[in-house]
Chain A
Amino acid sequence: MTDKTLAERSAPSLLECEINGEKVSLAVPPTRRLLDLLRDDLQLTGTKRSCDIGRCGACMVLIDGKPFNSCLTMAYQCSGKSVTTIEGLAEEERLHPVQQCFLEEGGYQCGYCTPGMIVSVKALLDANPQPTMEEIEEALSGNLCRCTGYGGILRSVARAIETGGAASNE
């Protein structure tokens, strides 16, 4: 790079952000995928790897409260942001109400899509506590589940809406 003024525009190999409420400073290449950073560098393996291209939702996390596919997100894109993974939902031993609803209604089978699904449901209900079926469909169509046929998931979401689930934990 000959242009001196541009040289300082290179993103640093140090990521500063918040993960599950804690400020972190990580020496990682700026293009490292958030998915790898969470799973391999921080051992937060609740975020799952499945398609690597944002089509299945198994790696869903919240960034500043909105759902993002961590496989599509690079480290530099998280700079200064707040990342919440499935591990950040429950407080101590108390499950998040959405987790509690999935548990009671049986909104999971193999469980591999479940963290991502719960993260998406939380994001939906935080933004819209009384979603219509169309809104649920729109919010969850990026989370594939191969086991349940979505029946248990829909019942879990319905229960979370009924109990005002998401709001009660805020």
Chain B
Amino acid sequence: MLLNRETSGTRWRVRPDGPPKVTGRLAYLTDMSVPGMLHGMVLRSPYPHARIVSIRTEKALAMKGVHAVLTCEDVPGLNRFGIAHPDHPVFCEDRVRFVGDAVAAVAAETAELAAEALKRIEVEYEPLPVVDDPEFALRDDAPRLHEHGNVLHRNDYAFGDVEEAFRACAHIVEETYSTPRQMHVYMETEGGLFVPEADGRLTVYSPTQHGLMDRMQLARILNRPEADIRVVSSPIGGSFGGKDELNVQPYGSLLALATGRPVKLHNSRFESVRAGLKRHPMRITMRTGTDASGKLLAHRVRVVSDAGPYSTLSAEVLNFAVEHVLGPYRYEAAEVKSVSVFTNNGMSGEFRGFGGNQAIFALEGQMDRLAEKLGMDPWAFRRINLRKPDDPGPLGQPIAPTDGARQVWEALPASRLWREKERAAAEAAPAEPWLKIGYGAAFVMHGAGLGVGIPDPAGGRLTLTPDGKIEAAFGYEEFGQGLIASLEQMLIEQFGFGSADLRIVIGDTDAVPDSGSSTASRSTSMMWQSLRRLRAPFSSRLLGAAAEALRLPADRLRLGEGGIRDAASGELLLAYGRLAELAPEPIVCETSFSYPTSPVERVGSHYLYSYSSVAVKVEVNTLTGRVRLLDQFHAVAAGPVVNPQGYLGQIEGGSGMALGFTLMEDAVMKEGVYLTRNLDTYLIPTIAELRGRFEVLPIEGLPEGDEHGPRGIGEIGSVGLAPAIAQAVYDAVGVRTAKLPIDPEALQAVPDFESEEVEPA
């Protein structure tokens, strides 16, 4: 059944965070201000690569109204950050490696004054040769950006004898795919408020996807105990992976502590562009072969990923890509070599899809090309090579068995869109001879969780508070995905509480347990598992206390809206507020566990996967080479739908981003400098691009005995669209695309009116 408001019935709920969002009352962390606060700004390098000869701050410091000018000298702790490997300087000491590198920061009484103070900081640079191409960076004669060279990470994987397997192939396809430097474009740029408290602690109000990780990193930079820092990190005006790593937090914190006054930072869009993360541009070369019947025999892949100047999660993204260039298909032999390379380009890092988008664009492209060589239907060709439920994962690791691959494969030909395609040939030609219609499809198998070898904690806490609220505390963040709504819905549906009974606490390190990060399509799964673990103990504690208070056997009671109810009649017997008063001791249950992983050694291997098939219909205008997406269908097998509105929104929203990735988005750089500074030249889809039809078919069934419940759907909608569109474009105009965004020039044709039966009017 397609997912929409009508089919969801009463499960389609108004989000708890909805009213303040539609009225503008919700205070985002960048909306906050306090009397007496200062305004912070960061001085960043104008050069992609340079030696710092000297930094003089006297003139800026001498300005009235300027309260602090900080440089690397003023960092009390580790002058580095980075979630996985801290090598990103808070303030550069002697060298800058990209145009976002920070050199100094100021706090002043107004933003205008702070901007002026930045201009008066005198930095003498000696420009160095720019390494703007990862292939060049790998050469021996390339300048070395770090002491250990320009290779950030390599990850190779192989099984079988790939040379031998290629020799046995009847058909071989080789192609190099390249993908753009996509920008997250969260509508709220980075920022926040940093408050030194009277008791000596520091409160950081700034968006992040993992408050406790920020707290750890800030403690390391500030050289103070984590307990002395409170990070308030939600609500967030969009993130998509882009705010997981630290951004302005080190500067706000250092300035607040240096001045003893609250400091506000809020990046301009250009500041966000130059300093922020982007999706890794990758070049992926694939050579793939089959036997005469279409069985995949050999697959050889080389991935080169442009990491930019520092590590953040580039190694982890590369690992993810290695897994996903193999994907859901079975081969006799495969060999993947991959490298993530330091350059003087912008910072690359975490972005929804996490390397899967690039990998799957390439892999699905190979499938379509091979099917053509074989003269087979591309979808039928995929079926021949598709994994079975009990097959190991892409890296040979055991994974939680589901039938998702077959399910989404079967759903696609049954979709309205695909059935229309079958009839399309007989339909009338488009309105204009230069408009060409095409259909395409792609298959996605996407891992969730952080994978083997990376700490991936989960957990949460339920409390009956003294004021009679059921408080659910989780260390997750709300950046729009509907986490609060999903948590509320699960508490209502699984426990029987009413929405008015609930208080949801997230996004505040002083108030939440360690639930791990809100990344990798993991939070909803982990909340579901937490509640499953908490359900029996918390219910029995509540019912036990109620039984004692009411002098009734616990089995005659149940949890319900407003309080404890008679199990048979539903009558309200004891309000939660009264229960809180009568309970002899506070009722608190907490759980702590880890995201399930595969029992293997290989770092990053995943255990839980979601599957998706995507079908699209496009129209190509051969006069202009522009592509319009007319219709899309997404089948998603990811277990039960926790929150219908959120689920639909994640697939639609992910697909919208993928459309930008496919057709228009690229933060173009020239010699290490961004040519796109703002949203006048970095273009993301408007409503005009995304007004086509859209259907989502959730496939909820899981094998009997499956304990893992809902799988992640936060990323999968952003993955399959690009290869589906590429195939549809080929179907329309016969041009293969290996580079994104699709170059319209390649799709152009000079109109041939001779063949249009021209008659003078």
Report A's interface with B, CB cutoff 8 A.
Answer: 39-40, 43-53, 55-56, 58, 85-87, 89-90, 95, 99-100, 102-106, 108-115, 118, 133, 136-137, 140-155
Contacts and interface: CB of A to CB of B under 8 A. Distances in A.
B480 A55 contact: no
A150 B649 CA distance: 9
B197 interface: no
A151 B421 CA distance: 23
A49 B269 CA distance: 9
Given A103-B18, A114-B22, A154-B687, A147 B480 contact: yes
Contacts of A55: 678-680
Contact of A146 (B22, B33, B266, B684): B684
Given A112-B238, A151-B652, 20 more contacts: A48-B188, A49-B30, A50-B187, A51-B679, A53-B269, A86-B24, A103-B15, A103-B22, A108-B21, A110-B186, A110-B188, A115-B22, A146-B656, A146-B684, A147-B653, A148-B656, A149-B652, A149-B694, A151-B649, A153-B687
A7 to B, nearest CB: 26
Interface in B11-57: 12, 14-15, 17-28, 30-31, 33
B679 A110 contact: no
A164 B290 CA distance: 59
Most buried by B among A46, A87, A99, A142: A46
A154 B686 CA distance: 12
Interface string B664-704: 00000000000000111000111110110010000000000
Contacts of B679: 50-51, 53, 55-56, 144
Interface in B207-266: 235-238, 240, 266
Contacts of A114: 21-22, 24
A110 B187 contact: yes
Contact of B23 (A95, A105, A151, A155): A95
Contacts of B652: 148-152
Given A52-B269, A109-B480, A110-B480, A85 B656 contact: no
A150 B688 CA distance: 9
A40 B39 CA distance: 12
B645 interface: yes
A154 to B, nearest CB: 6
A45 B648 contact: no
A58 B188 CA distance: 9
B269 A51 contact: yes
A-B pairs, top 9 by smallest CB distance, nearest first, are A46-B24, A110-B480, A149-B656, A112-B237, A111-B21, A86-B24, A109-B480, A45-B31, A151-B652
B607 interface: no
Contacts of A85: 24
A113 B649 contact: no
Nearest to B681: A55
Nearest to A99: B22
B440 interface: no
Contact of B31 (A39, A86, A89): A39
Contacts of A40: 33
B187 A103 contact: no
20 contacts: A40-B33, A45-B27, A45-B28, A45-B31, A86-B24, A90-B23, A102-B18, A104-B14, A108-B22, A109-B238, A110-B236, A110-B238, A112-B186, A114-B21, A144-B684, A145-B187, A146-B240, A147-B480, A148-B656, A149-B654
B657 interface: yes
Contacts of A143: 687
A52 B273 CA distance: 13
B310 interface: no
B335 to A, nearest CB: 37
B5 A105 contact: yes
A150 to B, nearest CB: 4
Nearest to A156: B22
A85 B19 CA distance: 16
A133 B23 contact: no
B687 A43 contact: no
B189 interface: yes
B481 interface: yes
B482 interface: yes
B15 A87 contact: no
Given A109-B482, A113-B187, A143-B687, A45 B22 contact: no
Nearest to A103: B18
Contacts of A104: 14
Contact of B649 (A89, A115, A148): A148
A102 B690 contact: no
Given A50-B187, A152-B652, A95 B236 contact: no
A106 B15 contact: yes
Nearest to A159: B5
B687 A137 contact: yes
